[in-house]
Amino acid sequence: MSVDGWNTVLVLGGIRSGKSEFAESLVTDAPVVRYLATAPEGDPEDTEWATRLAAHRARRPGSWTTEETTEDPRRLADVLASAEPNETLLVDDLGGWVTVLLDPEHQPADDVATIAELAEAIRTCSARLVLVSPEVGLSLVPTTPLGRAFTDALGAANRAVADACDTVVLVVAGQPVWLKPAAGVTAPAVTASGIEPAATASATAQVVASLADTEPTPEVQLPDVLTHTPPVVPNQEPGNPWAAPTMALPMVATGLVIQPGMELPMPDEYAGPQAVERLATLDVPGAGLGVLDRVVGFAAATQGTTTPQAWASVRVLLLHGDHAGGASAGTVAGESARRAAQARAGRGALARLAAESGASLQVVDTPAAAPIEDQPALSLDQVESALRYGWRLAEQAADAGVQLLVLGACGAGTEAAAAAVLAATAGAEPPAVLGRVITGSGEIDDAAWMIRCAAVRDALHRTRRSSRGAKDILAELGGGDVAVASGVLLGATARRVPVLLDGPVGLAAGMVSRDLAGQARHWCLLADHGGHPAVRLAADVLGLTPLLDLRMDLGEGANALVALPLLRSVLALAAALPVHPSLGGDEDPSPSADEADPDVTLDESDFTEPEPAGPGPASTGADEQPTSGWRAG
């Protein structure tokens, strides 16, 4: 969280809206957080309330400190007033504080004056401060005097605190809505049909950009885009869906800012289901596309039309970055660099499949990761740079007219790093998500597999008290390739470019990007799980159902390219087929009797049995006529 104009934030939300989780995500970057708990313990026999409190305590990292302010409602203002500039405070929540304020033990008291004291303490607080409060103003007026007193007092407190805070956020169904932007941020324009998309994107970009507090970083040159065979791009009709507006890139003088709670676009929620319903009306002789109708629904939602077009311009991003230590056990030194050089030269499975598909190829070198069992894979500064770098790669592709990104990786130790990320984000056991190690000769190396499991286990033990924020996981466990891949997913989401995932690195990036912007996973498609346990688990968590079950293992990215022609064919067929005549479609004209060939007549004698082949060759001379099952009279 930044201190530039955003020292104090009020997070409002209803019950179970996700307001506490969102508030906690705002302070994950802080090394130490003072958590100010305001809720009273309640009735000892109320197990449901005790369970709620326990859940809140379980989410707090071990580096946070917890302070109770339930004894005296005025103590909260004193704590805020005495906080130091280098501290970060999280108050959860003001509903509990108002409950204590109205407690008969603290009456008689001037509630209005106490609320005013709290608001003044927030204005003068020099620390970074996030406050959580329930929004009860949308409910019915309570029928009891005590209920009305609580809602009135909480409403007054929310208004006073919102006026004192720099920023106010309302969380609805887990989605943050910025009510009070910082100075210089323009609120979204509201029309008769709702908030204008362009205004929403612009306001979001300004909000994200205003949070920047990093030093300017020099621009890194993006790698060359390789096209080994010029792609054939079919002509498209005017007004094609690829011209849909995209989100503006949130850039400020200090660079791109990527942080939890980003508001990125979602695919069209109506176009996908309508496109799948349209398939049932097409003139096909059989039952239709089967499970591949999901491809049509995905393409329709991401293109914003019920008749999506096949992806004409495709780019493959091959991320190359090695992981040191036990994560790379069983790999041959220099093998990943050879694979990357092979792809750059247009050789190998990935490059050849890209050429066959008319896809461009971009080989991206990512920072090497340190041994995760001993130390963080990357520094936080490296994570920030890698995320921005990935975003720029996606932006470059969108500016070039790319309609689909294929994400792959070829570094040493990538599977173990992805398994560590899945263990940290989904609670998986390392042996359950680490695939068997196959040597170059096709043999199973159980010793190397055990070393990888031990490395992931030791890394999780080393980070057991660390924050589980997205950037912390990338720094401690993920490494450069997963960080760049996460940036690619976020940037592609911002620019409305779908991504075809393939392999553990892409799925691990999907898990991380989900915690930075929940919209990212809706722009991802998984063609095949490849039989990899980590991909299976991450796909289940992200809600991505593999379209195929081919169990191929040609390397990350190559498996997806094998499936790409099939996916394109499905989209082309769905777009070109007419509606069945029984449902109002045009009937294909049949040839008339006059158009039939009058010189060809058939009778029973025209159908003869073919002569059996003898022991000699099939043909003995140029004058010999081929045997046929029917002949023309």
Q: Which residues are catalytic?
A: 556
Helical segments of 32-178, H only: 47-59, 75-81, 94-101, 111-124, 145-164
Asked if residue 325 lies in contact with residue 316, where contact means CB atoms within 8 angstroms, the answer is no
Ramachandran angles phi, psi of 272, nearest 5°: -60, -60
Q: In what order do the strands lie in the sheet with 88-92?
A: 65-68, 34-37, 88-92, 128-134, 8-13, 167-172, 175-180
Sign of the C-alpha dihedral computed for residues 571, 573, 576 and 579 taken in this order: negative
How far does Cα 228 stand from its chain's mean position? 30
In 146-223, the DSSP E strands lie at 167-172, 175-180, 190-191, 194-195
Cα(38)–Cα(94) distance, integer angstroms: 7
For residue 149, the tally of other CB atoms under 10 A from its CB is 14
Closest of 488, 497, 506, 514 to residue 267, by C-alpha: 497
Judge whether 450 and 361 are in contact, CB under 8 Å.
no
For the CA atoms of 612, 615, 616, 622, the dihedral, rounded to the nearest 10 degrees, stands at 0
Distance CA 385, CA 79 (A): 36
Q: DSSP assignment of 313-333, as one string? A: SEEEEEEE--B-GGGGTTPPT
Measured CA to CA, the distance from residue 472 to residue 512 in angstroms comes to 10
Q: Give dist(CA 556, CA 505) in Å, integer.
A: 8
